[in-house]
């Protein structure tokens, strides 16, 4: 239920009663072969608002693929360009009971992969796609036994993202997550938790199992 709950499970955010900020920076490949311009940024915030009878939150995800060389059909170098992807999200969660939290997230998605082409068939065509999606989350505390928590999150429910035309649209990475967490120690001075979770991509024809 901390500052990262906006992403992992908006339903878990319902149990937070303080204002929290979370931030993460990751070099995508570290310094492998000198590739150091690909990185991932995440920043989020959530707060309990009594007037809304629940928690509100927001987060930003930014992934840059760094600089890439641009070549035409004749393999002539035409300089460099940068690619990136961005998601802006807002969340709301509600504590239904002492042990049940429900939440939802709406996100705006921008994927800017390449500039406008220069060839006869690439003019006025830019590798930029825009879409939106919803996440639905739930967290149940003390499932069957005390201190055993259960969570579900269905992420990226939304329309396909279109770069060139609708016939070539790509599905969003709709994902189903489910997990269990057992709090062996949970007091003022000591906390020890064991977690297990599963994640299943639903944007293909593979069976759910």
Whole-model pTM?
A: 0.84
Highest mean pLDDT among 65-69, 93-97, 116-120: 93-97
In whole angstroms, what is the distance from residue 175 CA to residue 197 CA?
13
Q: What is the pLDDT of residues 143-177, one digit of tens each?
A: 999 999 999 999 999 999 988 777 778 889 999 99
The string of pLDDT tens digits covering residues 75-111 is: 778 788 889 999 999 999 999 999 999 999 999 999 9
Q: Give Dmax (Cα) for the chain.
A: 67
Count CB-CB contacts under 10 A for residue 97. 9
Q: Which of 93, 81, 115 is nearest to 14 (CA)?
A: 93
Residue 163: count of CB within 10 angstroms of its CB: 17
Q: What is the DSSP letter of 78?
A: E
pLDDT at 30: 66
Spell out a b/e string for 48-68, using b for 16 or more CB atoms within 10 Å of the CB, else e.
Answer: beeeeebbbbbbebebbeeee
């Amino acid at each position: 239920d901390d500052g990262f709950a906006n992403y992992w499970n908006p339903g878990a955010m319902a149990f937070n009663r303080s204002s929290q900020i979370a931030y993460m920076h990751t070099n995508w490949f570290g310094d492998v072969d000198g590739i150091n311009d690909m990185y991932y940024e995440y920043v989020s915030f959530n707060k309990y608002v009594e007037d809304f009878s629940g928690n509100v939150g927001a987060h930003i995800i930014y992934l840059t693929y760094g600089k890439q060389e641009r070549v035409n059909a004749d393999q002539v170098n035409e300089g460099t360009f940068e690619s990136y992807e961005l998601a802006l999200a807002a969340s709301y969660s509600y504590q239904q009971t002492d042990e049940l939290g429900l939440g939802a997230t709406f996100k705006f998605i921008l994927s800017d992969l390449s500039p406008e082409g220069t060839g006869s068939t690439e003019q006025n065509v830019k590798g930029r796609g825009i879409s939106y999606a919803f996440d639905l989350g739930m967290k149940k505390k003390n499932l069957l036994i005390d201190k055993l928590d259960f969570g579900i999150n269905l992420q990226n429910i939304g329309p396909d993202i279109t770069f060139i035309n609708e016939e070539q649209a790509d599905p969003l990475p709709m994902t189903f997550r489910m997990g269990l967490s057992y709090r062996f120690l949970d007091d003022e001075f000591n906390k020890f938790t064991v977690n297990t979770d599963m994640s299943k991509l639903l944007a293909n024809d593979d069976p759910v199992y």
